């Protein structure tokens, strides 16, 4: 398999498939070769490339980061979990109401973001302050019920990715900001910065933004200019913005270990707000369907993010995020120890492995006449002698059909 890796991950024994520089500009005899000594890695680094493509069938692969076990994830969440923002029990009814309220604001915000992006594309003056008015409503929503806001952002529709992504990242960032205890003013700056984080992409040609194949080095470099472009649009063509908002735009691709862009900042130099946006951005990008790939499951995205804690993401923020969305985020289809299939309908921050679920099939995986709500945290959640527990995520093309025919509360949110 050909895979692109960062030069810092190069090791002796890997087979270089493409260096990304012309033959005359690198010191090796061939364009493709096996790395046989550490000095060759130094020579590759000296070429100034950030990434290299390797062929894992002909040489060593990058060791996979050790994935966390369910228990490890749960322990991390429990150890770092912030206090629950609302002590009273959130009923399924209340979750539904708050999620619906957040979805309404989301729909009202879509045309505002679309118009802003159009203004950037046409090169005229832009008015980013309209975004702040929408953000204020989202802040209220996130403060009222961060779990519902995060759940809403998990329900993927079919809206155009760029606009939908900006708003989803804003909602997720606000839910996370509320979870870690930010005040209302900071939340408004965070929500605005998150909404505008990819504004600079509006001046990247659409043929590159939507390119189904791999970007060339030149296209990739152009794409990497979108943080500075976003800041320039606001400061030159807009009415300016607060530094906290600009830092979200400029630093959302920076990584704790210094391998991000545009400035390669490392841990102490990256602001708190962009660290939050960065987690929300990558989570939403991983779980969204794109022109060139289908999104992964929310559970899988959590596992991937967790594998990058300390490297790309601030572990405290990541743990708060996992506490918020759960190890099995709302909408995840799961398989129980009883072999029944269920869907997660509400996260349980006290016990991340025991969310509220709706059971959709019997133990022979035959659909039930009606989805059955079960709180896994409650002792009486038993069937026969076995207490129900989640055995793991369940992925099947049948998921949407199961949700529909059992009348699950998630039937309208199911991917088609
Ligand atoms: Fe971005």
pTM over 0.75: no
Domain check: are 198 and 262 in the same one?
Answer: yes
368 part of a folded domain: yes
Specify if 393 maps to a domain: yes
Whether residue 119 lies inside any domain: the answer is yes
374 C-alpha to ligand 1 centroid (Å) = 39
Contact (Cβ atoms closer than 8 angstroms) between residue 20 and residue 214:
no
One domain, residues 159 and 279: yes
CA distance 124 to 353: 50
| pLDDT by residue, tens only, the chain of 416 residues | 777 777 777 888 898 988 877 776 778 877 888 898 888 888 888 887 777 888 888 888 876 555 556 566 666 555 544 444 343 445 667 777 888 888 888 888 888 888 888 888 888 788 878 888 889 989 988 888 888 888 877 776 666 777 889 999 999 999 999 988 899 999 999 999 999 999 999 889 888 888 888 889 999 999 999 999 999 988 887 777 889 999 999 999 999 999 999 999 988 899 999 999 999 999 999 988 776 677 888 888 888 999 998 899 999 999 888 888 877 878 888 999 889 999 988 877 677 778 889 999 999 989 999 999 988 887 554 444 457 888 888 877 778 888 889 988 776 554 43
- The number of domains in the chain is 3
Main-chain phi, psi angles of 74, to 5 degrees: -65, -40
Tell me, in angstroms, the distance from the centre of ligand 1 to residue 117's CA.
Answer: 14
Residue of 280, 88, 268 lying closest to 168 (CA atoms): 280
The answer on 364 and 404 residing in a single domain is yes
Q: Are residues 251 and 308 in the same domain?
A: yes
Half-sphere exposure of 392 (CA within 13 A, CB side): 6
CA 396 to chain centre: 22
Nearest alpha-carbon partner for 227 in 200, 247, 204: 200
What's the gap in Å between 210 CA and the centre of ligand 1? Answer: 14
Closest CA to 252 of 312, 295, 177, 305: 312
Question: Which CATH number fits the domain that encloses residue 36?
Answer: 3.90.105
- Residue 129 Cα to ligand 1 midpoint, Å, equals 20
> Which one, of 279, 283, 325, 297, lies nearest residue 414 by Cα?
297
CATH assignment at residue 204? 1.10.3210.10
Compute how many other C-beta atoms are within 10 angstroms of the C-beta atom of residue 141.
25
Total residue length of the chain: 416
CA–centroid distance, 416 to ligand 1, in Å, is 27
Same domain, 320 and 339: no
| pLDDT for the residue 70 | 59
The residues, any chain, with a CB within 8 Å of residue 328's CB and separated by 6 or more, are: 298, 299, 334, 344, 352, 353, 355, 390, 393
Angstrom distance (rounded) from CA 285 to CA 287: 6
In a domain, 247, yes or no: yes
Angle between helix axes 146-154 and 315-325 (nearest 10 degrees) is: 80
**CA distance linking residue 180 with residue 155, whole number of Å:** 23
User: Do residues 94 and 178 share a domain?
Assistant: yes
The answer to whether position 69 is within a domain reads: no
Centre of ligand 1 to C-alpha 252, Å, is: 7
How far apart (Å, rounded) are the C-alpha atoms in residues 150 and 147?
5
Are residues 146 and 36 located together in one domain of the fold? no
Cis peptide bond prior to 340, omega within 30° of 0? no
Strands (E), 153-197: none
CA of 299 to the centre of ligand 1 (A): 22
Same structural domain, 172 and 290: yes
Residue 66 lies in a domain: no
Residue 49 belongs to domain spanning: 2-55
Based on the domain organization, do 251 and 380 belong to the same domain?
no
Measured in Å, residue 315 CA sits from the centre of ligand 1 at 21
Q: Which of 103, 173, 140 is nearest to 324 (CA)?
A: 173
Residues 315 and 358 in one domain: no
Instruction: State the Cα–Cα distance between residues 189 and 349, nearest whole angstrom.
Output: 26
Q: How far is the CA of 24 from the centre of ligand 1 (A)?
A: 33
> Would 78 be classed as within a structural domain?
no
Task: Tell whether 319 and 357 lie within a shared domain.
Answer: no
Render 320-374 in DSSP notation, one character per residue: HHHHHH-SS-TT-EEEETTS-EEEEEE--TTSTTS-EEEEEE-TT-PEEEEEEEE
Q: Is there a contact between 280 and 173 (Cβ–Cβ < 8 Å)?
A: yes
Residue 300 Cα to ligand 1 midpoint, Å, equals 21
Distance 89 CA to ligand 1 centre (A): 36
Residue 219 C-alpha to ligand 1 middle, in angstroms?
A: 15
Core vs surface per residue 256-288: b (16+ CB within 10 A) or e = beebbbbeebeeeebbebbbbbbbbbbbbebbb
Using CA atoms, how far apart are residues 77 and 79, in angstroms rounded to an integer? 6
* The domain boundary residue, chosen from 31, 55, 79: 55
40, 55, 70 — which closes off a domain? 55
373 and 247, same structural domain?
Answer: no
Question: What residues contact 120, with CB distance under 8 A and at least 6 apart?
Answer: 126, 199, 202, 203, 233, 237
CA 334 vs. chain centroid, Å, equals: 20
Q: Which two tokens stand for residue 100?
A: 């619906």
Which residues have C-beta under 5 Å from ligand 1, the single-atom ion?
A: 198
CA of residue 213 to ligand 1 center, whole Å = 18
Cα distance between residue 305 and residue 325, in whole Å: 13
Give the residue from 259, 294, 325 where a domain finishes. Answer: 325
Compute, in angstroms, the gap from residue 198 CA to the centroid of ligand 1.
Answer: 5
Ligand 1 geometric centre to CA of 409 (Å): 33
Domain presence at residue 166: yes
Q: How far is the CA of 201 from the centre of ligand 1 (A)?
A: 8
């Amino acid at each position: 398999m050909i895979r692109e890796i960062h030069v810092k991950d190069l090791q002796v024994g890997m087979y270089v498939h493409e260096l990304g520089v012309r033959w005359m500009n690198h010191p090796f005899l061939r364009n493709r070769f096996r790395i046989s000594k550490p000095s060759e890695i130094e020579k590759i680094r000296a070429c100034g490339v950030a990434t290299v493509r390797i062929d894992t069938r002909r040489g060593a692969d990058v060791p996979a980061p050790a994935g966390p076990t369910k228990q490890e994830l749960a322990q991390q969440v429990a150890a770092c979990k912030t206090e629950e923002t609302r002590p009273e029990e959130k009923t399924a009814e209340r979750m539904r109401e708050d999620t619906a309220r957040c979805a309404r604001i989301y729909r009202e915000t879509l045309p505002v973001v679309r118009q802003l992006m159009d203004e950037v594309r046409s090169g005229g003056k832009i008015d980013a302050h309209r975004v702040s008015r929408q953000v204020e409503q989202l802040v209220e929503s996130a403060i009222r019920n961060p779990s519902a806001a995060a759940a809403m952002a998990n329900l993927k529709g079919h809206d155009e990715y760029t606009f939908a992504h900006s708003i989803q990242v804003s909602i997720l960032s606000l839910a996370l900001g509320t979870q870690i205890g930010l005040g209302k003013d900071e939340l408004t700056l965070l929500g605005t910065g998150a909404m505008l984080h990819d504004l600079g992409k509006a001046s990247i040609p659409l043929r590159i933004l939507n390119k189904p194949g791999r970007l060339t080095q030149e296209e990739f470099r152009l794409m990497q200019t979108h943080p500075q472009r976003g800041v320039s649009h606001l400061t030159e063509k807009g009415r300016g913005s607060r530094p906290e908002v600009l830092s979200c735009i400029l630093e959302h691709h920076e990584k704790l270990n210094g391998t991000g862009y545009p400035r390669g900042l490392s841990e102490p130099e990256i602001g708190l707000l962009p660290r939050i946006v960065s987690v929300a951005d990558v989570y939403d990008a991983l779980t969204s369907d794109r022109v060139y790939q289908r999104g992964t499951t929310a559970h899988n995205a959590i596992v991937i993010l967790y594998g990058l804690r300390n490297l790309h993401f601030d572990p405290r923020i990541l743990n708060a995020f996992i506490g918020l969305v759960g190890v099995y985020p709302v909408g995840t289809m799961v398989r129980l120890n009883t072999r029944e299939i269920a869907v997660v309908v509400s996260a349980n921050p006290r016990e991340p492995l025991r969310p509220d679920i709706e059971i959709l099939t019997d133990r022979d995986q035959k659909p039930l006449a009606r989805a059955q709500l079960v709180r896994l945290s409650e002792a009486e959640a038993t069937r026969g002698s076995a207490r129900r527990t989640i055995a793991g995520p369940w992925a099947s093309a049948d998921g949407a059909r199961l949700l529909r025919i059992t009348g699950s509360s998630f039937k309208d949110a199911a991917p088609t």
